[in-house]
Structure 1
Amino acid sequence: MGVFSRARDIVSANLNAMLDRAEDPEKLIKLMIQEMEDTLVEIKASCAGAMAAEKRARRAFEMCRDKAGLWAQRAEMAVAKEREDLAREALAEKRDLLDQAVALEREAGQTAELVGQYQAEIRQLEEKLASAREKRRLLLQRHLAAQDKIRVRKEIRRFETADAMLRFDKLEGRIERMEADAELVDYGRKPTLEQQFERLAYDEGVERELAELKAKAAAEKE
């Protein structure tokens, strides 16, 4: 496959459609990028060669044209000296050089056209390569995000299993037993002397307030 035909196939390729059909999009786009990069190197090398060939053809064209001008001057000089034989040979040399110049000019034009095609292919392929690289970056981001999502969901499912809930229930039961044990520490314990006097003071205050309420109610009835 030639460089041009391979480049056109790559440029015309629909990346989205190819990625949708691929079983491993990351692997496919990596191969495509490598293919584009290799093709781009080849096209640039071919373009550089064509540009050099165009310059050589144009230099040769100018040289032939200059020599043709020189032989034209010699033909004029030969005529002036009445040397028609030399003038005829000089004109023949001039004609040959002009014919070569025409061929070289045509060659330079064709090579320039080829350089233009190469440059257009290079621009299109570079745009396609930039797009492929961006898609690869996005694919890698999506791949990492998907991996994180899978990991998180696995963790959630792990804690949603019956075994996990059973462990939580057992832990809750242990805590409840510890709370009950803490309450039983003081249960049935004889109050201290200070606690008994505090209780008497509390009961006395309640009785006094109750007597005041009764007296107030009796006064209102009168």
Structure 2
Amino acid sequence: MGMFSRMSDIIQSNINAMLDKAEDPEKVIRLIIQEMEETMVEMRSVAAKYIAEQKYLDRQAATLQKDIDNWMAKAELAMDKGKDDLARAALVQKNSYVEKLDVIESQKTQVSDMLTSVQEDTQRLHAKLAEARQKQKSLVARKDNASVRLKARGVTHSTQVENAMARMDSYEQRIEHLEAQVDAYDVVGSSSSATSLEDEFKALETNDVIEEELAALKKKRAA
């Protein structure tokens, strides 16, 4: 026995309410769709049976109508010929076919009503099936989206990721330290060069003064 005991349960079912009560909505919607598809096949089979029966009754009705017309024509012919007894017998035969035709017409009405009901139920079931399939797509999309988001959250809050980021920060600090050393070397190197050059000029100036003093001392001593 399937999820639904009657076809009307499927047609009148509130899919959202059923899913809200279900422990596994994805499984429930899959079973609902499966039950609907199987019921749809059964309903189409019943509809085909009614259509075939309707065509059969139409053929019987057409045959009976021919018999009725035929016996009516015979009764009229007998009347024209003054054969009242023969005309009466023809009318009796005609009426027997009329009774049979009435039964057939009654059967046709019943079959037509049942076929109409099946067609209406099939249309409603088809709409419910489309609703269920759309709901299934929505559930699958939401599940996939939730899975991807959960994976992303897991990666974001992963201890391994945090450790890796910490190591990257430490490595970045080491690089910054090395870069600072290079910058410091350039500053010290430039200052030393400037100082050495200034010392050389001072030395030259000092030598000139010494030479002048030495020349003045020699001149003084020679006098």
Q: Does the alignment reach a TM-score above 0.5?
A: yes
Cα deviation, 1:62-115, whole Å, max 9, x if unaligned, reads 321221121122123334445455434322211110001100111111111111
Tell me the secondary structure at the aligned position of residue 73 of structure 2: helix
Alignment map for 1:51-90 (pairs within 5 Å): 51-90=51-90
Tell me the secondary structure at the aligned position of residue 191 of structure 1: helix
How far off is 1:154 after superposition? 0.9
Q: TM-score, normalised by structure 2?
A: 0.74
In structure 2, give the amino acid aligned to 1:141: A
1:39 correspondence with 2:39 = yes
Q: Which runs of 5+ in 2 are unaligned?
A: 202-223
Alignment map for 1:71-110 (pairs within 5 Å): 71-110=71-110
Look up the match of 1:196.
197
Provide the aligned length of Structure 1 versus Structure 2: 197
Look up the match of 1:111.
111
Cα deviation, 1:43-69, whole Å, max 9, x if unaligned, reads 122112212222321332232122112
Residues 155, 161 of structure 2: 8 Å contact kept:
no
Pair member with larger Rg: 2
In structure 1, give the amino acid aligned to 2:138: L
CA distance, structure 1, for counterparts of residue 110 and residue 192 of structure 2: 116
Residues 71, 93 of structure 1: 8 Å contact kept:
yes
Cα deviation, 1:148-198, whole Å, max 9, x if unaligned, reads 21011112102697634542443244224323442454576583479836x
CA distance, structure 2, for counterparts of residue 143 and residue 125 of structure 1: 26
Look up the match of 1:144.
144
Residues 64, 97 of structure 1: 8 Å contact kept:
yes
Residues 19, 29 of structure 1: 8 Å contact kept:
yes
1:121 correspondence with 2:121 = yes
Moved more, 184-193 or 137-146: 184-193
Look up the match of 1:6.
6
Query: Kindly, what percent of the aligned residue pairs are identical?
Result: 35
Residues 68, 98 of structure 2: 8 Å contact kept:
yes
1:134 correspondence with 2:127 = no
Residues 61, 104 of structure 2: 8 Å contact kept:
yes
In structure 1, give the amino acid aligned to 2:115: V
Cα deviation, 1:104-150, whole Å, max 9, x if unaligned, reads 11111111111110110111011111111111111121111111210
Look up the match of 2:21.
21
In structure 2, give the amino acid aligned to 1:22: A
In structure 2, give the amino acid aligned to 1:10: I
CA distance, structure 2, for counterparts of residue 25 and residue 67 of structure 1: 62
Residues 29, 132 of structure 2: 8 Å contact kept:
yes
In structure 2, give the amino acid aligned to 1:131: E
CA distance, structure 2, for counterparts of residue 137 and residue 130 of structure 1: 11
CA distance, structure 1, for counterparts of residue 167 and residue 9 of structure 2: 61
Look up the match of 1:174.
174
Q: Which runs of 5+ in 1 are unaligned?
A: 201-222
In structure 1, give the amino acid aligned to 2:25: P
In structure 2, give the amino acid aligned to 1:24: D
CA distance, structure 2, for counterparts of residue 146 and residue 46 of structure 1: 43
